[in-house]
Amino acid sequence: MVQKLDYLKETPSQTAGPYVHIGLAPGAAGFDIYERELGWDIAGPNAKGERIRIEGLVIDGTGSPVKDVMLEAWQANSEGLYPHPEQAGETEEGFKGWGRVITDFDTGEWGFDTIKPGRVMGRNGHLMAPHISLWIVARGINVGLNTRLYFDDEAEANATDPVLNVIEWENRRATLIAKREMRDGSPVYRFDITLQGDNETVFFDI
């Protein structure tokens, strides 16, 4: 007699879920837990360089803003240095080079203030263009998405960036370029992230 095997059914994929804000950005979720919330200040008051603001939306495949996203940002200082023990040189006191923001629950807009990063030396000895690395999580995203933000007023540096040039199609490279405008005398860069569709942002396997 052949015994029939019972196979276990697949379990649902685990996504970031609704608790990501409570655990990682409680202040934005209405929980006053910390005196100073982790990730609120990227550059600190002593950072040199140009003070800038970055704003955008995360857009789904239907063209609608996603309103429960968390983004983390990593960047170098204006001299291309990271606050890391193995990094040659020193960054300014208070410069963290890392931040965390969530989208507005009503509009889907996200944004943060920082300084414009400098060019960083890549592992292969080639200078990279000024950029900010972003990590994106939300409900429905099973694995966090990694991408980069470059600056449209750094065209010469962008043209030789080793990561941008790995992307074969120029129209796809354009999805990583933030557009500069002036608002009340201060520079603001617009960077919308598209999860699916014709203008899908380039994401990296890291």
8 Å CB contact between 71 and 134:
yes
CA distance 45 to 50: 12
Beta strands (DSSP E) in 19-144 are 51-56, 58-59, 70-74, 98-102, 110-115, 120-121, 127-128, 131-137
Which residues have a Cβ under 8 Å from the Cβ of 16 and sit 6 or more positions away? 70, 137, 138, 139, 141
Q: What percent of the chain has pLDDT over 70?
A: 79
Residue 95 has pLDDT above 80, yes or no: yes
Instruction: Give residue 142's pLDDT band: very low, low, confident or very high (50, 70, 90).
Output: confident
The mean pLDDT of 132-137, rounded to a whole number, is 96
Kindly tell me if the per-residue pLDDT of 58 is higher than 80.
yes
The whole-number pLDDT of residue 26 equals 61
Sequence-separated (6 or more) residues with CB below 8 Å from residue 176: 147, 148, 149, 150, 164, 167, 201, 202
Of 65-74, 129-138, 139-148, 182-191, the least confident: 139-148
* Position 6 pLDDT exceeds 80: no
Confidence of residue 5 (pLDDT cuts 50, 70, 90): low
- pLDDT tier, 206 (very low <50, low <70, confident <90, very high otherwise): confident
Q: What's residue 185's pLDDT? A: 95
pLDDT at 15 over 80: no
Looking at residue 129, its pLDDT comes to 98
Q: Taking all residues of the chain, what is their mean pLDDT, rounded to a whole number? A: 86
Write out the H or E segment, with its range, that includes residue 190. strand 186-190
For residue 1, what pLDDT band results from cuts at 50, 70 and 90?
A: low
pLDDT at residue 33 is higher than 80: no
pLDDT band at 80 (very low <50, low <70, confident <90, very high): very high
Who's near 124: CB < 8 A, 6+ residues apart? 162
Q: Report residue 21's pLDDT band, with 50, 70 and 90 as the boundaries.
A: low
Alpha-carbon gap, residue 16 to 1, rounded angstroms? 46
